[in-house]
């Protein structure tokens, strides 16, 4: 059902054994648009330091990776949830 398996448990484990930041990519990690939001929130809850999230104005017409790209509206809906989860664990979100 998914192209890849995104192992959320690896995030806190790697943070225990490495000084390097952890970057999660829920778009590539699942290959499915409908799983990007829950895996993003789970990644933040698990302690990820950065996220790669694919966004496209019309994913169904994207030349590549449309199936795993959020629409602009989906991304806008995700951001308040992302801030809420980060705040719940004492972290904040910096967007660039």
Q: Which DSSP string do the residues of 31-51 spell out, in sequence order?
A: --HHHHHHHHHHHHHHT-SEE
pLDDT score of 79 more than 90: yes
pLDDT in tens, 13-22: 999 999 999 9
Predicted pLDDT of residue 95 = 83
Q: Give the HSE-up count for residue 84: Cα atoms under 13 Å, Cβ half-sphere.
A: 6
Domain boundaries, the chain: 10-88
Top-confidence residue, 5 or 79: 79
Report field, pTM of the whole predicted structure over 0.95: no
The whole-number pLDDT of residue 4 equals 83
| Interval 13-63: pLDDT, tens | 999 999 999 999 999 999 999 999 999 999 999 999 999 999 999 999 999
Query: To which residue do tokens 């829950």 refer?
Result: 38
Token readout for 86 is 């980060």
Q: How confident is the model at residue 3 (pLDDT cuts 50, 70, 90)?
A: confident
How far lies 59's CA from each of 12, 37, 51, 64, 92, in Å? 31, 15, 19, 9, 29
């Amino acid at each position: 059902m998914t192209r890849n398996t995104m192992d959320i448990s690896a995030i806190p484990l790697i943070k225990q054994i490495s000084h390097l930041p952890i970057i999660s990519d829920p778009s590539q990690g699942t290959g499915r648009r409908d799983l990007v939001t829950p895996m993003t929130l789970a990644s933040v809850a698990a302690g990820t330091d950065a996220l790669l999230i694919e966004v496209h104005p019309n994913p169904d017409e994207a030349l590549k990776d449309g199936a795993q790209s959020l629409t602009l509206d989906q991304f806008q809906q995700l951001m308040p949830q992302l801030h809420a989860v980060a705040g719940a664990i004492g972290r904040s979100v910096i967007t660039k």
